[in-house]
Structure 1
Amino acid sequence: MQDPILERALGQVRAERARDRARRRGVAAVACAVLAGAALAGGVHLGRRSVPGDRVLVATSADGVRMTATVTPADGWVRLRAQVDGVEAGERCHLVVTDGRGPGHVAGGWVASRAGGHALTGSVAVDPGAPAVISVVTEDGRVLVTAEVPAW
């Protein structure tokens, strides 16, 4: 014959162990779901943000002119999106792409404002498979900042 107090204590211990196991499984399941969701969301975010072949370039000159440019290859030409900061107000500038086969190709131009940076979108007919250089050049020919585009 067993002691009823001992039986009740053992029953409580078994019940608590079962609850603890269930709680740990639940926590593990939630953690796995959160990690899987984060991985999926990260993949979707990267898929929206990057196009195969895009090159993102960042360059800063000693004078503090900063250029961030995204170069997207196309069939026989490239698209450019650039943000240029640190150019003195009133300065007339051009975004120039040089691919080594001759003079540079102007992708666009602007006059720097007192408000600060300038966003520019343009395109040039250069071979997207060849290395190139993107520069911000003033109207009088001074190169303010340059970034090299690696070959695709």
Structure 2
Amino acid sequence: MRDPILEGALRRVRDEKARDRGRRGRLRAATSAALAAAVLAGGLHLGRHSLPAHRILVATTGSTRMTTTITPADGWVRLHAAVDGIDPGERCTLVVTDSHGRRYVAGGWVAARREHTDLDGAALVDPADLATISVVTVDGRTLVTTTA
């Protein structure tokens, strides 16, 4: 014997479950599409605004040698210079020159010994505008220069 009331109630429950599954499926699809769009937009933004990896430049003038690591940042550069061959007591600055000829002091030190001196510095020079990096004494003598 079939109970029409029970069958009608069961049919309504099945229909409601099917509608709920459809709504959840559409919600999941919309959420997935929005997430994919956000990831794609973020990737495009990072791709356009990412900077190249660091560069290493080496220069020698007479007995003075400088190895410079340049790490680009957004609108400025970080520098690490390893300098050899400067007389002890010499007061020096690390000078960055941009493509327009403007000079920026990225750091300074007093040479303690003729061998290896490490210096970290920074300059507000756009990485694309970086022209040269020099070691200059406080009395204006350029000891070594490297072209970026």
TM-score, with normalisation over the residues of structure 2? 0.62
1:147, CA displacement in angstroms? 0.3
After superposition, residues 16-95 of structure 1 pair within 5 angstroms as 52-62=52-62, 64-95=63-94
Deviation at 1:138, TM superposition (A): 0.2
Correspondence 1:109-148 to 2 at 5 A: 109-114=108-113, 116-148=115-147
- Corresponding residue for 2:106? 107
DSSP-derived class of the 1:129 partner: helix
Gap regions ≥5 residues in structure 2: 1-50
Q: Runs in 1 of length 4+ with deviation above 4 angstroms?
A: none
Answer with 1 or 2: which has the greater Rg.
Answer: 2
TM-score for the superposition, normalised by structure 1: 0.61
Aligned alpha-carbon RMSD (Å)? 1.5
Deviation at 1:115, TM superposition (A): 5.9
- Contact 2:96/2:130 (<8 A) preserved: no
Aligned residues with identical type, % of pairs: 59
Q: CA offset at residue 105 of structure 1?
A: 0.3
Q: Give the C-alpha shift of residue 132 in structure 1.
A: 1.2
